[in-house]
Amino acid sequence: MKKIPLLLAGILALLFLESFDPDRQLQTRHSETAPDWGFFAHRRINRLAALTLPPEMMVFFKPNIDWISDHATDPDMRRYATPWEGPRHYIDLDEYGAPPFEQLPRSFLPALMQHTEILAVLERGDTVVVYGGDHPPAENPELPWERFFSKHILPNFSSGDGSLNVDSLQVFLKSGSREIPAVQSVFFQENLSKHGILPWHLQRIQGWLTNAFRQRDSKRILRYCADIGHYVGDAHVPLHTTSNYNGQKTGQVGIHGFWESRIPELFADEEYDYFVGKPEYLPQTAEYFWDVVLASHSMVDSVLGIERAMRLHFPEDRQMCPDMRNGRVIIAPCRDFAAAYQEAMQGMVERRLRAAIHGVASIWYTAWIDAGQPDLSKLDLPLSTEEELREEEAIRQKFNAGKILGRPEGE
Ligand SMILES: [Zn+2]
């Protein structure tokens, strides 16, 4: 038997729906910035996704459902602890031309190679691009870019300052019949992550999760399930696929939090239908991740355009209202205004939330199937070690200090 009956899933969902209570972590933050989808929606997505799983998976997920739900927000917290985290949450597709962005490699390594360049500091003092960017790849089969990249660049990617050995570069460039003048130093620079790596990062975690299932490593299964649930959620948010992520380019600052935090917090419990059916096996997960971000991107114009039109036509004094958040008064979009925006978008927020829940469950399910449907009934329930608890606490402290590394997302 592969599915949990819909009615039962519905009853369970009702049992697990908490009435909205601002998250504990939010109470300790000192700014109004709302992390993506809001903590509220991310937790809800992971929890509801778990409730749709087949019994063979439920046997493990049910006892861990609080953990998976609570830790749905860890990736957002890590944005305060490491600069590598931020780009995993978005992709600015508009930086790559027009849909369907055929020039953009769908796999990570080719994309990284396409968007890495080599620069040289010349003895005369200026810095020039010697490879990449507008420079076509070297044609010499003796030392193609791919091989140079894997040998000299990839191993140093996340460590060090990106400096390269001048001699090895000379060999590479000579091999492409190009030489550079006398140089002081050379280094590489990747330009991919500044526009976000969300769909590629999803592919990586999918691999890690599948392996964790294969090895029946309960701790890593939970960790990657919680993480991938977060990123699949982000991928369903239109504003996570554009460089105008907070309406800052169109005079609509604050729209990020309005769409993905304010609206779900106001209406998700009262009005949304969470019956998303059982998870589906996804034979091509990479393709699925790209389909999701491309679909999200196709909604960006509506998200922005409808809000802009509403701001013009809705009575101005009924657009922003004082509200209480964590014992403090904040100014946020009024309930009626939010309801009107939601209606004008024809329920887009609810549709994307539902699609995210179904997507997260399907991705977990697919990883489990691809791992050979391991028996999860005998897995140990993981306990955190002292060291892990200390690490978690350190991340929490950085998060509470409130200095995001990389670009902020909310208003
Ligand atoms: Zn995120």
Phi, psi (5° rounding) for residue 384?
A: -75, 140
Q: Is residue 366 part of a domain?
A: yes
Ligand 1 centroid to residue 306 C-alpha, Å? 24
pLDDT(381) > 80: no
Confidence of residue 36 (pLDDT cuts 50, 70, 90): low
* Cα dihedral: 325, 328, 333, 339 (round 10): 40
395-399 mean pLDDT: 78
pLDDT confidence bin for 409, thresholds 50/70/90 = low
Q: Are residues 130 and 93 in the same domain?
A: no
The parent domain of residue 140 ranges over 116-190
Task: Say yes or no to pLDDT of 5 above 90.
Answer: no
Q: Is the pLDDT of residue 67 over 70?
A: yes
Residues 182 and 325 in one domain: no
**d(CA 409, ligand 1 centre) in Å:** 9
Burial of 47 (0-12, 13-18, 19+ CB in 10 A): buried
Distance 227 CA to ligand 1 centre (A): 9
When pLDDT is averaged across residues 263-274 and rounded to a whole number, the result is 90
The answer to whether residues 167 and 267 belong to one domain is no
Say whether both 223 and 328 belong to one domain: yes
Residue 228 and residue 213 in contact, taking contact as beta carbons nearer than 8 Å: no
Separation of alpha carbons 404 and 193, rounded Å: 16
Is the same domain home to 66 and 81?
yes
- Whether 410 has a pLDDT exceeding 80, the answer reads no
Q: How far is the CA of 229 from the centre of ligand 1 (A)?
A: 10
Average pLDDT of span 86-103: 96
Q: How far apart are CA 47 and CA 41, in angstroms?
A: 10
pLDDT score, position 37: 64
Residue 134 has pLDDT above 90, yes or no: no
How many other C-beta atoms lie within 10 A of the C-beta of residue 163? 12
Closest CA to 199 of 92, 274, 326, 125: 92
Among candidates 307, 319, 333, which has minimal Cα distance to 32? Answer: 333
- Which of 162, 190, 218 is the last residue in one of the domains? 190
Calculate how far, in angstroms, residue 75's C-alpha sits from the geometric centre of ligand 1.
Answer: 6
pLDDT at 44 over 70: yes
Tell whether 244 and 358 lie within a shared domain: yes
Distance between CA 119 and CA 195 in Å, rounded? 20
CATH of the domain at 308: 1.10.575
DSSP lists the bridge partners of residue 129 as: 119
Say how many Å lie between the CA of residue 364 and the centre of ligand 1: 18
Per the structure block, which two tokens stand in for 90?
A: 């978005």
pLDDT digits (tens, 9 = 90+) for 301-341: 999 999 999 999 999 999 999 988 888 898 999 999 999 99
Q: At 33, which amino acid appears?
A: T
Cα–Cα distance between 386 and 147 in angstroms, integer?
Answer: 42
Same domain, 87 and 128: no
Query: Is 90 exceeded by the pLDDT of residue 386?
Result: no
Q: What is the predicted pLDDT for the residue at 21?
A: 24
Q: Which of the pair, 237 or 385, is modelled with greater confidence?
A: 237
**Cα–Cα distance between 339 and 266 in angstroms, integer?**
9
Task: Please tell me the distance between residue 208's alpha carbon and the centre of ligand 1 in angstroms.
Answer: 19
What does DSSP assign to residue 185?
E
Q: Give the Cα separation of 68 and 260 in Å (integer).
A: 20
Domain count, the chain: 2
CB 91 within 8 A of CB 198: yes
Going from the Cα of 76 to the center of ligand 1, the distance in angstroms, rounded, reads 5
148-186 pLDDT tens trace: 888 888 888 777 678 888 888 877 877 766 666 788 888
Asked if residue 93 and residue 152 are part of one domain, the reply reads no
Q: Where are the alpha helices (DSSP H) in 252-402?
A: 255-257, 263-271, 285-298, 300-313, 335-344, 348-370, 386-401
Within-domain flag for 110: no
**Mean pLDDT (the chain, rounded):** 85
Is beta strand 127-131 parallel, antiparallel or unpaired with respect to 116-122?
Answer: antiparallel
